[in-house]
Amino acid sequence: MRKIALVFPGQGSQKVGMGQGWAERSAAARATFEEADEALGFALSRLVREGPEEELTLTANTQPAILATSVAILRGLDEEGSDLSPAAVAGHSLGEYTALVAVGALELGDALRLVRRRGELMQEAVPAGEGAMAAVLGLDAAAVEGIVADAQGDDGVLAVANYNAPEQTVVAGHVAPVERAVGLARERGAKRAMTLPVSAPFHSPLMAPARRGMTPLLDAADFRDPSVPVVVNVDARPVEHGPELRDALVRQIDGAVRWVESVERMAGEMGIELFVEVGPGAVLTGLVRRIAPGAGALSLADPSGLGKLAEALGTEGGGAG
């Protein structure tokens, strides 16, 4: 049996209709969306199913929508009898909450309410138009860190927000230094450097107000020890105790997502051979293939992925019929 890690996507993977193939196939998936509606007090399932897209992409809606969809897919997989038995889990940013639900460290209803408020606080932390994020492709992380240092000025904050792949790094901060960083990246040979269509400078020091707002909510939530280790974003290390998971979620709000190191640790010292992305889209599957090309990676965004999963696990059945 190959050693498996489940990975869960974050904001940016959303689309209207996500998870509906699973909802049509699986009673457990449908029940998960119903549970989300009840926990939040509004018809999140309808927004996921029908849109409109402009409403779904609001941060306060996107975060619980992706979490609910990912858990619906996971429960649909369980209903199929898929023998996943992960040795570790991890989630990218918002996806870390999904990972905690997956391993019993956090109840779904609590997680949904937390990420709903997290989205609101992150949106409110910086006035519209004052913050930005930009992706730099084709330069290594050290080069981008140098650009961040050189682009700093008296007109705002700039920091690395996401270490997504060996040559894909995201920076965040006030608009002026982010724009300078984009210019410097192009001058220094980046294949691409562009600002991103996001509503706030996530995972930067500008998220400090959101961190302050989330801390008492996370402190009040019931965190249990996970059934398997969770490799957390801020430290890129496996965590096995509930209080440490809570602390990691607090620090993650204004700290960088160390996805490259997280995947390298799982594929290296933890011996993970197959990464299974559970959630909408296949963003993490692509990143894993670039970070750890020797490991397998596949997405289960819809039931058509069941055949590939069965093949990867060397098991019979699991077709998408």
Per-residue pLDDT of 224-237, as tens digits, reads: 999 999 999 999 99
d(CA 192, CA 34): 42
What's the pLDDT score for residue 313? 87
Instruction: Give the pair of three-digit tokens for residue 171.
Output: 């920076």
CATH value at residue 179? 3.30.70.250
pLDDT digits (tens, 9 = 90+) for 258-274: 999 999 999 999 999 99
Q: Are 46 and 56 in contact (CB under 8 A)?
A: no
Please say which residue of 198, 227, 257 terminates a domain: 198
Do 167 and 52 share a domain, yes or no? no
For residue 193, list its beta bridge partners: 136
- 318 domain residue, yes or no: no
d(CA 239, CA 128): 35
Would 320 be classed as within a structural domain?
no
Domain end residue (candidates: 198, 214, 238): 198
**309 found inside a domain:** yes
Buried/exposed 45-72: b ≥16 CB within 10 Å, e otherwise: bebbeeeeeeebbebbbbbbbbbbbbbb
36 within a domain of the structure (yes/no): yes
* Spatial CA neighbour of 40 closest among 117, 142, 126: 117
**pLDDT tens, residue by residue, 123-169:** 999 998 999 999 999 999 999 999 999 999 999 999 999 999 999 99
Same domain as 121, residue 213: yes
pLDDT for position 315:
58
Say yes or no: 120 and 135 in one domain: no
Is there a single domain that holds both residue 194 and residue 213? no
In a domain, 63, yes or no: yes
Whether 31 is covered by a domain: the verdict is yes
Q: In the sheet where 192-195 sits, what is the strand order?
A: 192-195, 131-137, 168-174, 158-165, 257-258
Q: pTM (2 decimals)?
A: 0.95
The DSSP letter of residue 106 is: S
Which positions are catalytic? 93, 203
Largest CA distance in the chain: 61
The per-residue b/e assignment along 227-256, b for 16 or more CB within 10 angstroms, e otherwise, is ebbbbbbbbbebbeebebbbbbbbbbbbbb
Is residue 321 in some structural domain?
A: no
Report residue 192's pLDDT band, with 50, 70 and 90 as the boundaries: very high
Is residue 154 domain-shared with residue 75, that is, in the same domain? no
**Which structural domain, as residue segments, surrounds residue 183?**
131-198
The C-alpha angle 11, 86, 63, rounded to 5 degrees, equals 15
Q: Are strands 257-258 and 158-165 parallel, antiparallel or unpaired?
A: parallel
Domain total for the chain? 2
- In terms of domains, do 153 and 253 share one? no
On whether residue 319 sits in a domain, the answer given is no
The verdict on 119 and 157 lying in the same domain is no
